[in-house]
Structure 1
Amino acid sequence: MSRLLAVLATVLAGGLVGMQAPINSVLGKRIGTLAAASVSFAVGLAALAALTVLIGGGFGRLGEIRGLPWYYLIGGLLGAVYVTCVLLSVRTIGAGGVAAATIVGQLTMSVLLDRFGLLGLPQRPLDITRLAGVALLVAGTALVVRG
């Protein structure tokens, strides 16, 4: 995948994530917060399982999971925490506030993971430009949430 295509695909996926909070919030008001988060993940699981079977060749290498450290298996749990939190917070800070706060959290954690070379990532320095980028996002989030 080219760099441009990767950026465009990620922008598109980010736009879809921007829709996720209000959709799940309405679902949560109708059926309950945890039920809505569960339904959201169940629909996602069904779609991914179908794609895995139809396009990915099935679950033949699932046994390889045994050799992984436990923390590589909690991605779904982290997603569930995010979806549940967003389901509630979007009602207070709106979709823009949720998106801004999410990006601040993602970027902050990401630069720390890069800095220390955690989770299989190569180490990257934490320099003034990266710190300034995080600080500007924090400031931008404060402006979005304040409004």
Structure 2
Amino acid sequence: MQAPINSKLGKAVGTFAAASISFLIGTAILLAITAVSGAEVKLSGASGLAWYYFTGGLLGAAYVTTVLVSVRTLGAGGVTAATIAGQLSTAVVLDRVGAFGLAQKPITIGRLVGVALLAAGVFLVVRE
């Protein structure tokens, strides 16, 4: 749902403005949830983290902006299929190298077949 909603907003106000509106609303909601939940906010705990642990927002902005543009061509199904296949492919590699403190997991034939099947699924969903 997010892709076509943001795409329509992007056509009305511009791609980057739509992405900004999406993130502003999301930020406001998350701040409200944090305030209402009463959960302890430990910003001091972030001081010892490596810089790349702060790139989640950057990656999220890149994703939302890419979806805003690509959903017009690929459609909601194509964007969703490509997103899932891309995330799984990346996750298999991240698991293999143990990135970001993940436990290392080998790349097996089963995992490769799974990625290949998802790639085939993307092809089937986006082809005309």
The question of a shared fold, defined as TM-score above 0.5 by the shorter chain, is answered with yes
Measure the CA separation in 2 of the matches of 1:90 and 1:131. Answer: 27
Measure the CA separation in 1 of the matches of 2:26 and 2:43. Answer: 19
Measure the CA separation in 1 of the matches of 2:110 and 2:124. Answer: 21
Q: Highest relative contact order (Cα 8 Å, sep 6+), 1 or 2?
A: 2
Establish whether residue 128 from structure 1 lines up as the match of residue 109 from structure 2.
yes
Measure the CA separation in 2 of the matches of 1:72 and 1:21. Answer: 26
Q: Which residue of 1 aligns with 2:100?
A: 119
**What does 1:2-13 align with in structure 2 at a 5 Å threshold?**
none
Can you list the C-alpha shifts for 1:19-74, whole angstroms capped at 9, x where unaligned? 11000000000010000000000010011111111114253x11221111000001
Q: Which residue of 2 aligns with 1:53?
A: 35
Establish whether residue 142 from structure 1 lines up as the match of residue 123 from structure 2.
yes
**Alpha-carbon spacing, 1:140–1:56, altered in 2? closer, same or farther (3 Å):** farther
The Cα RMSD (Å) is 0.9
Identity, in percent, stands at 62
TM-score (norm 1): 0.85
Measure the CA separation in 2 of the matches of 1:48 and 1:41. Answer: 10
Q: Which residue of 2 aligns with 1:91?
A: 72
Match 1:40 to one of 11, 19, 22: 22
For structure 2, the 5+ residue unaligned runs are none
TM-score (norm 2): 0.97
Q: Which residue of 2 aligns with 1:12?
A: none
Measure the CA separation in 2 of the matches of 1:118 and 1:110. Answer: 9
Measure the CA separation in 2 of the matches of 1:103 and 1:56. Answer: 34
Establish whether residue 30 from structure 1 lines up as the match of residue 12 from structure 2.
yes
- Give the ranges of 4+ consecutive aligned residues of structure 1 lying more than 6 Å apart after TM superposition: none
**Alpha-carbon spacing, 1:58–1:42, altered in 2? closer, same or farther (3 Å):** farther
